[in-house]
Amino acid sequence: MKKYLYIFSFVFIFSCFFSMSVSAADYSTYSNNKVEFGLNLRTDHKRPDCDRPKGVTLSKYHTFYYGIKPYKKKDKVIYLTFDCGYENGNTKSILDTLKKNKIKAIFFVTEPYIRSNPGLVKRMKKEGHLVGNHTTTHPRLTEISVQKMKQELNTCKATMKKKTGYDMDPYMRPPEGVYSVRVMKVAEDMGYNTMLWSWAIRDYEEEDQPSVQYVIDKVKKHYFPGMMPLFHVISSADRKALPTIISTMKKKGYRFGKVTEFTKKRKLK
């Protein structure tokens, strides 16, 4: 009997080790060539082209930079997204504006943001917004190992549950828009949709903000059906421009939707 138990234990341990090795080897077959996400913004209100791995269809990996289905239907819709690295007093006003206009957005939070501002994150969820993962330490995901990337996302997810009582929504935004096929594949296997963006400006330096009118004019210049703009909650210019952007786009016949309209429902693993 002991002999068979020994054999079984050996086979079990070997199979676990082999499974782990295969898993790691599998990711090594996916390119980790760095792509620094960028856009060729257009002024004819059509979808811009973007930087992506050559020959790769982003949606194959549940990766999106605009609302695909609305764009195909020419649905006049915008999906508001906000990155939350740290808090400097703007988020409450942003949430007030969204609530007043009955708009739902998605906020991508870092682990320190959740830990320092659990009340704001709870409010996001209570008011119907989505809260996505923006990692723990905001690293370039192509420059860390698969194991470290999983740790970055899992720690942020765990803090979300511990500090707010809410589960993280299955959306991830890679810091600085730096990604690769491997990054998309790992995120997909973890149950995430990888969310890029279809409009952005240099609004992320707290002490070097653009003018409010500049933000408004840039949106008016580059909007298109399915647009997914990136704003930062640390931006006072974005906060002040948001009410005008909303009213202006509504006058143009646009509505504001949630990214769940064009992404498949996923479950985090």
Which CATH number is 243's domain given? 3.20.20.370
Whether residue 37 lies inside any domain: the answer is: no
Percentage of residues of the chain with pLDDT beyond 90: 87
Whether residue 35 lies inside any domain: the answer is: no
Ramachandran category for residue 128: left, alpha or beta (phi over 0 → left; psi -120 to 50 → alpha): left
pLDDT at 74: 87
Whether residue 15 lies inside any domain: the answer is: no
What is the value of pTM for the model shown? 0.90
Could you tell me the residue range of the domain that residue 98 belongs to?
57-261
Model confidence at 170, pLDDT cuts 50, 70, 90, reads: very high
Model confidence at 2, pLDDT cuts 50, 70, 90, reads: very low
pLDDT at 52: 95
Q: Which amino acid is at 128?
A: G
Query: Counting every residue, how long is the chain?
Result: 269
Name the residue with higher pLDDT: 73 or 157.
157
The question of whether 129 is a catalytic residue gets the answer: no
Whether residue 121 lies inside any domain: the answer is: yes
Please name every residue paired with 50 in a beta bridge, in sequence order, or none if there are none: 39
Whether residue 51 lies inside any domain: the answer is: no
pLDDT at 168: 98
From the candidates 83, 169, 203, 238, give the one annotated as an active-site residue. 83
Please name the helix (run of DSSP H) or strand (run of DSSP E) that holds residue 162, with its range, or none. Answer: helix 146-164
| Cβ-contact 194, 65 below 8 angstroms | no
| Alpha carbons 10 and 260: distance in angstroms, whole number | 46
Model confidence at 26, pLDDT cuts 50, 70, 90, reads: confident
pLDDT at 8: 38
CB 239: neighbour CB atoms within 10 A?
23
What digits encode the pLDDT tens for the residues 61-107? 999 999 999 888 889 999 999 999 999 999 999 999 999 999 999 99
What digits encode the pLDDT tens for the residues 189-242? 999 999 999 999 999 998 899 999 999 999 999 999 999 999 999 999 999 999
Whether residue 115 lies inside any domain: the answer is: yes
pLDDT at 120: 98
Split into its structural domains, the chain has a count of: 1
CA 183 vs CA 46, 55, 130, 144: distances in Å: 28, 16, 22, 10
Whether residue 90 lies inside any domain: the answer is: yes
Residues 10-20 have a mean pLDDT of 42
Whether residue 21 lies inside any domain: the answer is: no
The question of whether 83 is a catalytic residue gets the answer: yes
From the candidates 62, 134, 222, 232, give the one annotated as an active-site residue. 232
| Alpha carbons 200 and 34: distance in angstroms, whole number | 20
